[in-house]
Amino acid sequence: MSPVSMLCFLLFHLLIPSPSQADGNITVGSSLTAKKDNSSWLSPSGDFAFGFRPLPTNLNNRGGVFLLSIWYNKIPSRTIVWFANGDRPAPENSKLELTSDLGLVLTDPRGERLWMSENIVGTVSHATINDTGNFLIFGSNLEKLWESFDDPVDRLLPSQTLGKNKFLSSRQSDGSFSRGKFQLRMLDSGDLVLNTINLPSSYANEPYYNSTRTARDSNMSSLGKEFVFDNSGSPFVLRENGDKVYLSQVKVPSASEFYHRITLNFDGVLTHYVNPKNSNSNGTWISLWSEPENICTALLTPRGSGVCGYNSICSLGGDNRPRCGCPDRYTLLDPNDEYGSCTPNFTLNCEEDEKKLKQGSMGDFYTFVELEHTGWPMSDYALLAPFSEDECRNSCLHDCMCAVAGFRDGKNCWKKKLPLSNGRVDPKLNGKILIKVPKRDLTITNDSQYPIPKGKIKHHDHRILILVGSMLLGASVSINFVLIGAITWGFLFVYCKKLKKISIEENVVGLNLRYFTYQELFEATDGLKEEIGRGSFGIVYKGLMSNNAAIAVKKLCSAMHSKEREFRTEVNAIGQTHHKNLVRLLGFCDEGHERLLVYEFLSNGTLSSLLFSGESKPSWIQRCHIASGIARGLLYLHEECPTQIIHCDIKPQNILLDDYHNARISDFGLAKLLKMNQSHTQTDIRGTRGYVAPEWFRNLPITVKVDVYSYGVLLLEIICCRSCLGTELSRESEGELLTDWAYDCFMHGRLDALVEGDTEGLSNRTNLKNLVMIAIWCIQEDPSLRPTMKKVTQMLEGAVEVPVPPCASRLNSSTSSFLHPN
């Protein structure tokens, strides 16, 4: 090339800088402008992009505002991993420029500086974004002057570290990038902790999670040095002596095949997410683990409101994430912030109470809303003990400072005043909360979470009395006696039914469940129009509440014949369950012969659809994650919930998937409500053919081991992505073919046949073998030889070694020693 040609070439590239270059380097003077569909700077592989992302428009910024950020560029969700100006979004046409003296500088269209890369010492030569997602600015001697990894926001990427006195800050909400109230901090003491701060200051409250306290290694002689998220995707605290304390024992998928990120969510839950890198990924992130296990009960601080705002109540939802709600007669202070504080729709005033006391009993003016398994533990100002419940009510009733009374353990009365903090639902709480509310203008509202019964037929009763009087005046004496008798009987009948109805609704208050009328659910489902599933228990319809929340309404089958008290007993047991791997029961209807259950609606459908209906198999890590979630849900039902529940019908159609593809078990606790002769088997057996344990056929005692057997069949289906009831199967043994075939493949070393060329599954051959062996243990014919679900979860997590299982016909008692150690 001639000197003239070379000069022209250089001038061309200097005068027209490319915002994105093949080698990933960005030269001084390069710039980006905040516009829709604007170009960005890409990493060499194209995995990450750096530039402007548009935020939702608002009234003050009709043209839109933009966030300077780094995001995953190859997945549909375009998940943001770093951002710069969360508190000061950039208006359209704002400019980002790489300068020689200040590094990155972001200015608005008027030239006002919005953000800059801080602590730049030296002259900038160029910048780059690499394939780890780190944006770096280099000096003239190729020294690092600044990097985004040293300025983390709310998440970490593989190869990133968090040194002493460094921290992550959560976002304010799911849709806001302003600083939130939760932090992940690496303390100078070497402890990795989660804590809240008192906004707008940075004052840190007491930690609600500490890695040192939860570590399995009890040798704490060496302090922590830094928090490391290594290249393989494993997070640990590195100690001064070189030891590693891992945050989780969950098996981590390969970082070469999955994107990894650790995020401090806006609700204070620290979660490790993964997403397959293959082209078939739909952008859905899978949660590997999260801390704490239940943030509603873990976060307990004398300062601050807790997870939810003041006077609000936290309950655990899907993916270990909290849900917040206001008690009856309280509403959100900010209707757009569901995690914010609640304010009462009335005023407790001591001066007014003194006047009321002169007019009559305080019981004429106030009543109580009751909530069981609920508490605000940090708002007490007095303990009265020993006290009865009536004494507790009366004391709070006549104390103008008392807004709530907590009656615990049959003898302790805790009086609480506003504002109430750290509200939570906790099945382990023994007792109830009594919320004092005024009696006047008490009404039932369609959107009330805890409806309080109130008579609504006052005017109607008045019209009936006028009609009855007219009838009596115009009739003979003998007829009057007959009429009086009939009318008296009629009033007694209606009155008893009314009391019965109120009794049911009052009972609901103690369950934290909503009582729905049949008309409400009929309208919410548009006349039971959209059917989304059916089974032995009934038909499920999709519905929409007045607040646009989607629900799933299960209309129980007509064969449901349990008595009213039995029905409420079973609903009570179901309503007390709270676990991330169970579908949440929101309420019910028990009106005449109509019995319906209302559940949260899960958008990703059933496990059956995921495994058997798609053109391609779900990723191996996703299937493993689902298998572990189902196991943890069954463990909770069997051993950890207030009342032991045997599901009796575990199958893919009864496993639903939430927004994050977490497995959620449905239809648990319903088996007791169903007549014994109502099932798919058309016998006295509960369950579905192919998943039914042998003891059902042998008149043996039914225990939790029937669920273990069904789980074993389900686990094989998850491994193979093949139904045990596939259309290609026939004869009476169709439910056995998958299990027998899987055992033969295992015995002859043909594991590749089970996953049918699934390269991801075959690359995890040890894991594949362990899962198959766990499944075979679960489907042993002798119930005593099957492991408990606790043992199953330990084997899945790698905490317990999986022995080689025997064939059912060759089993002997000695093989059960690992299942039931002394």
Break the chain into its structural domains and give their ranges. 19-150, 155-292, 458-504, 514-600, 607-816
* Nearest C-alpha neighbor of 362 from the set 308, 437, 432: 437
Query: How confident is the model over 774-785, as a mean pLDDT?
Result: 92
* Nearest C-alpha neighbor of 667 from the set 644, 683, 651, 678: 651
CA angle 187, 190, 196 (to 5 degrees): 30
Q: Return the percentage of the chain with pLDDT > 90, whole number.
A: 39
* Interatomic CA distance for residues 315 and 373, integer angstroms: 11
Does the pLDDT value for residue 472 go beyond 50?
Answer: no
Does the pLDDT value for residue 188 go beyond 60?
Answer: yes
Query: How confident is the model over 763-767, as a mean pLDDT?
Result: 86
Please tell me if the domain spanning 19-150 has the same topology as the one spanning 155-292.
yes
Does the pLDDT value for residue 483 go beyond 60?
Answer: no
* Interatomic CA distance for residues 346 and 304, integer angstroms: 23
Assess contact for 54 and 64: CB atoms under 8 A: yes
Query: Tens of pLDDT along 231-274?
Result: 999 999 999 888 898 988 888 888 888 999 999 999 999 999 99
pLDDT bucket at 299, cuts 50 / 70 / 90: confident
Does the pLDDT value for residue 694 go beyond 50?
Answer: yes
In this predicted structure, what is the pLDDT of residue 254?
87
Across the strands, what pairs with 128? Answer: 25, 136
Does the pLDDT value for residue 360 go beyond 90?
Answer: no
Assess contact for 324 and 313: CB atoms under 8 A: yes
363/68: higher pLDDT: 68
Does the pLDDT value for residue 500 go beyond 70?
Answer: no
SS3 state at 526: coil
Average confidence score pLDDT of the chain: 80
- Most confident range (mean pLDDT) of 1-10, 331-340, 509-518 is 331-340
Query: How confident is the model over 23-34, as a mean pLDDT?
Result: 87
* Interatomic CA distance for residues 259 and 285, integer angstroms: 9
In this predicted structure, what is the pLDDT of residue 279?
58
63/744: higher pLDDT: 744
Which token pair is 273? 């997410």
Query: Tens of pLDDT along 31-49?
Result: 999 988 777 999 999 999 9
Say whether 649 is catalytic: yes
Q: Cis omega before residue 253 (within 30°)? A: no
* Interatomic CA distance for residues 720 and 714, integer angstroms: 10
Longest dimension (CA), the chain: 128
In this predicted structure, what is the pLDDT of residue 454?
31
Among 154, 649, 667, 707, the active-site one is 649
In this predicted structure, what is the pLDDT of residue 273?
93
Superfamily of domain 19-150: Bulb-type lectin domain (2.90.10.10)
* Nearest C-alpha neighbor of 518 from the set 420, 591, 412: 591
Q: Tell me the CATH architecture of domain 514-600.
A: 2-Layer Sandwich (3.30)
738, containing H or E segment:
helix 734-747
Does the pLDDT value for residue 366 go beyond 80?
Answer: yes
Query: Tens of pLDDT along 160-174?
Result: 999 999 999 999 888
In this predicted structure, what is the pLDDT of residue 488?
52
Domain 155-292 adopts which CATH fold?
Answer: Agglutinin, subunit A (2.90.10)
Does the pLDDT value for residue 405 go beyond 90?
Answer: yes
- Most confident range (mean pLDDT) of 2-16, 476-490, 547-561 is 547-561
Assess contact for 451 and 328: CB atoms under 8 A: yes
Query: Tens of pLDDT along 598-646?
Result: 998 998 889 998 998 766 788 888 899 999 999 999 999 998 887 788 9
Query: Tens of pLDDT along 57-66?
Result: 543 444 579 9
- In the chain, the N- to C-terminal Cα span, in Å, equals 84
Q: Lowest mean pLDDT of 128-137, 150-159, 502-511, name the range.
A: 502-511
In this predicted structure, what is the pLDDT of residue 794?
92
Instruction: Map tokens 């789980």 to a residue.
Output: 711
Assess contact for 709 and 784: CB atoms under 8 A: no
Domain 607-816 adopts which CATH fold?
Answer: Transferase(Phosphotransferase); domain 1 (1.10.510)
785/462: higher pLDDT: 785
